[in-house]
Structure formats: structure tokens, C-alpha cells
Amino acid sequence: MSRKYFGVILTGFTFTVFLVFSLYEGSNLIDDPFEWPRSTPFTHLLVSNPVFPQDIVWLDFFVYAIKFYAVYPIMTLISAALLLGLTIQKMNKSKQVYSNIFGIFLGVIMLYTSLAFFSAQSLGSAVFRYTLLFIGLMLVLSASYSIFRYKTSKVQP
């Protein structure tokens, strides 16, 4: 493997490790059945009233970890954003404008997600929301600046 993809591989590995740690910390949800009505939105989409721990969807472990153990979910989010940024940078070599438009689209999705879906019920969810908001804003601004710089470098004086 060349050195060209070392950053992408390393970031993908750190993303996977932080995701596994987040899911492990979120598995404490199994021991807290009183939190099931508030911390299992994905389970309630599939099962109307979860009774057994086997009914809980693994995405709800991540939601629980965001609310109560926010360090690893935030590190997962940061490594995912870095992985997206490196992927967009690798795509940027051939089709610069299209990859930057894709970056703006992903940034807008992050901004919308942070504003629409995350309520500040706990400190962890508030920090996760503001981290998601900051990363989405940085992604939109950097991709917009790159498009602006690309368009102005093509203009002949």
C-alpha cells in the first residue's frame, strides 16, 4: 500500500475503534430499563414496546452513549468528519467542483441534523450537537472557499 492512502486507512481504523468503544459504553443501556423509553428511538421504530434487552437496536447504544458517555461518540464524529474530508480531498484531484459540492451537501446535512434532531437533554447530547454543528459549518465553509478559489483561478485577467 502506498503512502498516498495511509491517512485514509489510519482515519478509518480510528473511526472503527472509536465506534466500537462508543457502542460498548452505550451497551450500559441494557442495564438501565427505565431509560428505554427516552433513549431508544430506533428500537421504537421497529418494536412498539421493548421488553427484552434483545429488542434493542444497536444504533440505540450509540444514542445512549451520546447522552451519557459523550467522549467516544464525539471522537467517532471527529474521525468520521476527518475521514470524509480526506475522501473529498482524494476525490478533489480529478473533479474539484463536484467533490466540493458534495462537501457542501454533507455539511448542510450535518447542520440540519444538529439543529433538527438533537435536543440538549443532557450535557453529552449538547456537546455532541455543538460539535456536529461546528463540523458541518467548517465543511460548508471550506468547500465553499475551495469552489470560490477554483472559480477565481480559472478566470483570465
Report the alpha-carbon distance of residue 24 to residue 119 in Å, rounded: 23
Cβ-based neighbours of 38, under 8 Å, separated by 6 or more? 121
Mean pLDDT of 127-149: 85
- Cβ atoms of 71 and 28 within 8 Å: the answer is no
Report the alpha-carbon distance of residue 124 to residue 25 in Å, rounded: 13
Q: What is the pLDDT of residue 152?
A: 67
Reported as a single tens digit per residue, the pLDDT across 57-66 is 888 888 888 8
Report the alpha-carbon distance of residue 92 to residue 66 in Å, rounded: 32
Q: What is the pLDDT of residue 96?
A: 66
Range of the domain at 60: 3-154
CB-facing half-sphere around the CA of 130: CA atoms within 13 A? 7
pTM recorded for the entire structure:
0.78
Backbone angles phi, psi at 72, to 5 degrees: -70, -35
Report residue 96 as a C-alpha cell.
474539484
Q: Is the pLDDT of residue 112 over 80?
A: yes
Helices H / strands E in the chain, number of each = 7, 0
How many structural domains comprise the chain? 1
CB-facing half-sphere around the CA of 93: CA atoms within 13 A? 5
CB-facing half-sphere around the CA of 70: CA atoms within 13 A? 15
Q: What rounded mean pLDDT belongs to the chain?
A: 82
